[in-house]
Structure 1
Amino acid sequence: MSTHLRRRLAAVCWSAILVCIAALVPGTARADNPIVQHLYTADPAPLVYNGRVYLYTGHDEDGATYFDMREWRVFSSSDMVNWTDHGTPMNLDTFAWADENAWAGHVAQRGGKFYWYVPVRNAATGRMAIGVAVADSPTGPFRDALGRPLVENGEIDPAIFIDDNGQAYMYWGNPNLWYVRLNTDMISFSGAPTQIPLTTAGFGTRTGNPSRPTLYEEAPWVYKRNGQYYMIFAAECCSEFIAYSTAPSPTGPWTYRGTVMPRQGSSFTNHPGIVDFNGSSYFFYHNGALPGGGGFARSVAVERFSYNANGTIPTINMTTAGAPQVGTLNPYTRQEAETIAWGSGIETEPASEGGMNVGWIQNGDYIKVKGVAFGSGASSFTARVASAGAGGSIELRLGGPNGTLVGTCAVPVTGGWQTWTTATCPVSGAAGTQDLYLRFTGGGGYLFNVNWWRFAT
């Protein structure tokens, strides 16, 4: 957990002493959900590209009492458990015409470019509008593609679907549900936005709210499988559950099918995303599972699932275990320090050498990297480090933050938090496939930063 989250947790410990002690002790948080622990993330939008899953999220600010969101974040993984933090490739300043609410977006890839559709508040009108940014890489940086809203009707939560024939659609809406046909340039559309009829046959029956007779609330997610179109959505605030409908075409008519994920998870909102990757299906969502978490401090999580034989989606429950690992991680190639299955105490920041680095490291903090394939054994470990503090050590442990010690690498003082040097140390006993823990030790205050690491045989 981040230092900010740890401080917040300590502040509320008086009301839950035993729970807080368990959360503060290193090594007690051993699950893999939520998949990011050093900041709050929300509204997942996964995209499979070039052998990786790219996960686009919002960022709930620490201490928020509303949806205080000013930037978007990107993470990626090739194994569904070790996630690389790519930082903030887009924020409110990307859109000169917007002033607030960096809310739930969606990224689509076409023609070698990546298009990020997001709801933001138009400063000129005070209404929510949908903007679109474009990048040449899935990790950005993204730039405003239009210099103005793509559409503006006061509603939110865009989602993009590109059909087999190449026709792209954008769906969005709360309290209504809309779609528009996008042109091949992905930044303009043909015809006028069309409102999808919200019927109880199509989207289920809500009781006790005459102004909203159906379960549809927000956050549509549309895709096609075996000739059938699926729309997953957040249902019946508050608190929300995840439901879905199906249709024979991308424009309907929709038939309500039932619940995907029940009301769970200490957050009154939820937001779905479904992708297939490496032969399996994955359901992304958010909850309030981190210390200090809740409706305005959410965290993205993921579950693997299998469709029923008739194509229906089973009920999926939130877990702390998360999805199983796909394959293993190779420690003999350069690995970014911000590639993490679970982190305790650390945070990330842009590195002067490019990408991100792990920082704000204090004594006892650690990083877990899951399923590291050492093979017949490693003989040395090298890390790129920097320190304007007192320096310290990286303990290499297997199985847990206090597990088997296979090496200790001294980190010198380099004279600056971005003044980098390479530290190397011998390793003994690291063989087979193991969960690796980089445990950071030293004196008081912040110790050092880590940019990347690598083992050698």
Structure 2
Amino acid sequence: MRTSNLKTKFSLLLGAVLCFALAYSENPIIQTSYTADPAPMEHNGTVYLYTSHDEDVTVNNFFSMNDWKCYSSTDMVNWTDRGSVLSYKTFEWSRGDAWAGQCIFRNGKFYYYLPVNMKNGGNAIGVAVSDSPTGPFKDALGKPLFTGYGYIDPTVYIDTDGQAYLYWGNPNLWHVKLNEDMISYDQTLGIVKEDLKDENFGYRAKKIDNRTASYEEGPWFFKRNAKYYMLYPAGGVPEHLAYSTSNGPTDPWVYGDTIMHVIKNHGAFTNHPGYVEFKGKSYLFYHDAGLPGGGGFKRSVCIEPFNFNADGSIPLITPTSKGVVESAANVDPYKRTEAETIAFSEGLKTAQDEQTGVYVTEISNGDYIKVRSVDFGKGAKNFQASVGSATSKGSIEIRVDDKYGKLLGILPVKATGGDKVWKTQSCKINSVKGIHDIYLVFKGGDGNLFNFDWWKLTK
């Protein structure tokens, strides 16, 4: 009897620990795909996060990367999957390797600088352009912007005087002044190679290219309060994150310090910084190998909020599982919310087609979607969802604050005539007031249950 009670207590304690972990784990921020090389861009009150994409199946145990994805957020905790916005095939002269890039807005268009390998061999940086931050993007030049060994990982910034700069490179660092058209550069200045000295970019014990400077690759260039910053992976493999500063966009750099140590446990042998200021707060983006099955070639993007020191220096930032604790805004559930708007999820995937756009798929029994900071107001009476299903074996539990939290209602998903035949179905729910996290928990038999496009509450 005593042993039984101990087992019961242990089970309850374990359940509570698991619930706590589910409630407060927010990193990695994308769980439906392996993502890497984060490149955030704020535009008109929305953060657009561009990422490279590690495929689920690697080829020859190496980076298997064919396209670039985009996610968006207005609150820094819920991220909407905008799908694949272009692939290396957008550049007809490319043969693959869709690695780290960055997108920027100017003169009504979005310019995306991307490294690929050319069909005839060698590294190159291309530029794609779109009228929308979520694409479609097209090749702006029909040829590379630059070609050269180590020409990867471009970072772009437009200074307050209107002059644009592009930095890039591994294991060296180059820059150019971009012309106002953003698809050509100042030929008089040409391509400038940085003098990588220890005092500029830190020290490493192992020489590379007959130097000891710690800079490795993946630069991220920005300006804050008249000071220019360069964040970068450093020290060789495995990489940590470091930074340098300067008084001008092309002035000599001065080494700052390490800002993130080599990530252990969930680490990958690479890293890549990204930075954005949103609604007055600073956020560091990076990648690790925190998803199930993750590793050096299957990475995942994470975020940590941080504060600059009073002198403008960057503190040492610790990678965490909780990530961003405070939402920058609340979700209005009485407007259509895309099913692929997710703070955290388990088990499922996303897909896209021309007719529907992005939707949630590969939903199995026990999978769930968490959406944070949902403002129920004075309470809702109904839950609506657009679903596509070949069977009637699945359902959606609507819960608050936890995967096992208060049950508001259950939507039995009825067959619609196929998993791409979309119909809106609804159910009554118990009223709850105020701001809560909402959990959509999927139940049913074996295999894929249904596809899920959007949801909303009604009063």
* Percent pairwise identity: 50
Q: Provide the aligned C-alpha RMSD in A.
A: 1.8
Equivalent position SS for 1:138:
coil
Does the 8 Å CA contact 2:22/2:403 hold for their aligned counterparts?
no
Does the 8 Å CA contact 1:26/1:365 hold for their aligned counterparts?
no
Unmatched segments (≥5 aa) in structure 2: 1-14
Query: What's 1:79 paired with?
Result: 75
Q: How much has 1:26 moved relative to structure 2? A: 12
CA distance in 1, matches of 2:322, 2:442: 25
Query: What's 1:184 paired with?
Result: 180
Counterpart selection for 1:117 from 110, 113, 131: 113
Does the 8 Å CA contact 2:65/2:99 hold for their aligned counterparts?
yes
Does the 8 Å CA contact 1:332/1:456 hold for their aligned counterparts?
yes
Does the 8 Å CA contact 2:391/2:414 hold for their aligned counterparts?
no
Task: Map residues 67-216 of structure 1 onto 2, 5 A cutoff.
Answer: 67-124=63-120, 126-155=121-150, 156-191=152-187, 192-209=190-207, 211-216=210-215
**Cα separation, partners in 2 of 1:194 and 1:347, compared to 1, 3 Å:** same
TM-score normalised by the chain length of structure 2? 0.92
Equivalent position SS for 1:89:
strand
Tell me which amino acid in the other structure corresponds to 1:44: P
CA distance in 2, matches of 1:106, 1:58: 10
Task: Determine whether 1:53 maps to 2:47.
Answer: yes
Report Cα offsets for 1:330-388 as digits up to 9, x if no partner: 11111000000011111111155432111111111110011111011111111111112
Tell me which amino acid in the other structure corresponds to 1:128: N
CA distance in 2, matches of 1:309, 1:137: 37
Equivalent position SS for 1:202:
helix
Does the 8 Å CA contact 1:362/1:440 hold for their aligned counterparts?
yes
CA distance in 1, matches of 2:18, 2:316: 33
CA distance in 2, matches of 1:132, 1:26: 44
Query: What's 2:328 paired with?
Result: 326
Tell me which amino acid in the other structure corresponds to 1:131: G
TM-score normalised by the chain length of structure 1? 0.92
Report Cα offsets for 1:130-154 as digits up to 9, x if no partner: 0110111111111111111000012
CA distance in 2, matches of 1:24, 1:407: 23
Tell me which amino acid in the other structure corresponds to 2:164: A
CA distance in 1, matches of 2:126, 2:18: 41
Q: How much has 1:389 moved relative to structure 2? A: 3.7
Counterpart selection for 1:432 from 416, 420, 434: 434
Equivalent position SS for 1:93:
helix
Equivalent position SS for 1:201:
helix
Tell me which amino acid in the other structure corresponds to 2:304: E
Does the 8 Å CA contact 1:23/1:29 hold for their aligned counterparts?
no
Task: Determine whether 1:62 maps to 2:56.
Answer: yes
Report Cα offsets for 1:139-185 as digits up to 9, x if no partner: 11111111110000122110001111111111001111000111111
Does the 8 Å CA contact 1:406/1:427 hold for their aligned counterparts?
yes
Q: How much has 1:446 moved relative to structure 2? A: 1.0
Report Cα offsets for 1:197-240 as digits up to 9, x if no partner: 11111111111325231000001111111111111111011111
Tell me which amino acid in the other structure corresponds to 1:204: G
Task: Determine whether 1:298 maps to 2:299.
Answer: yes
Query: What's 2:229 paired with?
Result: 230
Counterpart selection for 2:443 from 431, 441, 445: 441
Equivalent position SS for 1:317:
coil
Query: What's 1:273 paired with?
Result: 274
Tell me which amino acid in the other structure corresponds to 2:242: A
